[in-house]
Chains A and B, each alone.
Chain A
Amino acid sequence: MQMNILAMRPARNRKLLLIQSAFVLTAFVLPLLIAPYQVFQWTLIASYAVALLGLNLLMGYSGQISLGHGAFYAIGAYVSGILIDHYGVPYIWTIPAAAGVGMAFGFLFGLPTVKLENLYLALATFGLAVAVPQLLKYKAFEDWTGGFQGITISKPEVPFGLPITQDQWLYYVSLVVALLMFALVHNLLRGRMGRAIVAVRDHPVAASAMGVNVVVLKALTFGVSAMYLAVAGALSTIAMQYVSPDSFAMFLSITLLVGVVIGGLGTLSGALFGAVLIGFLPNFAEQISKSAPGAVYGFLLIAFLFVMPSGVAGGLKILLSRVFKTNSKHSAISTQETK
């Protein structure tokens, strides 16, 4: 259920571009219209969207399960925090730094583990999710990580004397990064590597017979998805000016899983829906009870799997294709043509 732009007719392509432009425009105008705290919320949502893009790449397109990707988010966040706090690196440069470190760790962790069957990969990443928070508090690293207390950095100033608030500037930084990352993964999936990734997911033996180095490709995918998580983590550190080990407990990995499944696996717009969900739900749910977010996530997860397994993005697509019945007829014809 992927958007294969190549097989779509030009009219559909144009419509998609229009919708995307509208979204981007709204995104740019948004912070000027809403309160500062909401700007901060949307900044975090941009960070979550990048994270979910990465997890979606791994779970939706590559078909590998990870219950511990929060660990890479933590790595990115700490890389950013440590570079700013200990080495005085300008916050902007910590984002690519976090990306590099995340990619390296992801690839290294992936290389031995991607050979595992999905279930065992889930177990191994579960171990990662439980181990990393404990590791972050480890005494030997305390000089770097700040131990239990974490690292605090100062709020970035608005450069070039622009007439916007600090919150709005951070929002724009995150937005631009998110759009870049979106474009990056979009291009990745359209190209050779993208097709290879999906081929390996659907039938690894056939893909291998066609010359794809399955292990390296899957490890690279793991690395790229970890890179996305790390970038998201760096963005969150910049947005919150604070990083501490308690933010990266097992619950984070599970929250990301919830976001990507409910948003929609195998679609890029799903990352946005999921990000909005995990960005806003805790605020609403926590007013009811501290345990409400978890319960709601759990119920939503199971409910969506039973009712709408392709997530909100998939559900919307089905809805839209039913409402605009002519479109679905065209798409049926075009898929027959490409066959």
Chain B
Amino acid sequence: MDAFIHQVFVGLANGSLYASLALALVMIYRSTGMVNFAQGEMAMVSTYIALSLIQAGFSYWTAFFLTVALSFVAGMAIERFVIRPVSHASELSVVTVFIGLLLIFNSIAGWIWGYSIQQFPSPFSKFSFLANPYLSLHQVGAVGMTLCVLILLYVFFRFTKMGLAMRGTTDNGVSSRLVGIPVSRMLGIGWGLAAAIGAVVGMMVAPSLFLDPNMMVGLLLYAFAGALLGGISNPLGAVAGGFIVGVIEDLLGVYIDNELRFTAAMVLIVCVLLFKPAGIWGKHTVKRV
């Protein structure tokens, strides 16, 4: 029983990361109607940048916040220069552009930093007061960090004017424009936030997964599963979905087989799409002919 509880906690710890990434995916989906297939690779490049900053001599937290800021700016730039021109194209073209971005980021990371795995430091290894029998120090820190991010985002969207404007943009772009909200700028900020969240997730994941250009592929799959399970149009649902997927994936990995985790995630995605395509908490959209 104790082992089971332990696995549940580990699952929740992993789930917090999937939840954050799922939230980034949902943000972009809600504002632009597109799924950012390159989200994982963007996060990975951000993590490499953080590593370079740390190796250049910056302290961890300086590098952390600098990376988050840089990722935010990069996200806005990508939206402005790559995504906006194709936003009116067919779905096929849009997905292809995302795959192109995925390839470019993956290759740039491999080119600049190489393909051998690298160690990434954890800032929480000194917080010994967090020690507990279920999770490593870093895992506790990572959960704490992601919860902070989620709470900050909630506060931003719920209580600030810009958050309200962004919610308006995702809900109804046309009406928002009429009311005077600069929709394009909101989309850019949305992308920036998503990129920043991705950077945080990457930096939290890297100490345990070790940093290499293909670090984020599996994580992205779980984030997709979480976002779909919880409802790709519902941010809170996606977060909950991420936690659930974390627990399910960990339990399946331990009790069935470790090597089948990705297959399990894929089966989960297909099942969700078949039986409840809007997710548990998502809105079911009906298309008019």
Contacts and interface: CB of A to CB of B under 8 A. Distances in A.
B191 interface: no
Contact of B260 (A126, A138, A298): A138
Interface stretch (B10-18, B135-143, B152-160, B216-224): B216-224
B82 A302 contact: yes
Q: For this complex, into which size category does the number of interface residues on chain A fall?
A: 35 or more
A290 B269 contact: no
Contacts of B263: 131, 134-135
A118 B91 contact: yes
Contacts of B274: 112-113, 115
A96 interface: no
Interface stretch (A21-29, A34-42, A59-67, A152-160): A59-67
A305 B100 contact: yes
Contacts of B91: 65, 118-119
Interface string A44-72: 00000000000000010001010100000
A52 B273 CA distance: 27
A257 B104 CA distance: 15
Given A127-B270, A295-B104, A119 B95 contact: yes
Contacts, number: 142
B265 A67 contact: no
Contact of B266 (A120, A131, A292): A131
A67 B221 CA distance: 13
B40 to A, nearest CB: 11
Interface of A: 59, 63, 65, 67, 112-113, 115-116, 118-120, 122-124, 126-128, 130-131, 134-135, 137-139, 205, 250, 254, 257-258, 261, 265, 289-295, 297-299, 301-302, 305-306, 309
Given A67-B95, A115-B274, A135-B260, 4 more contacts: A65-B91, A123-B224, A302-B82, A302-B97
15 contacts: A63-B92, A113-B270, A124-B266, A124-B269, A130-B221, A134-B260, A135-B260, A138-B257, A257-B96, A258-B103, A291-B106, A297-B103, A298-B103, A302-B100, A309-B93
Interface of B: 34-35, 37, 82, 85-86, 89, 91-93, 95-97, 99-111, 115, 213, 217-218, 221, 224-225, 228, 257, 259-263, 265-266, 269-270, 273-274, 277, 289
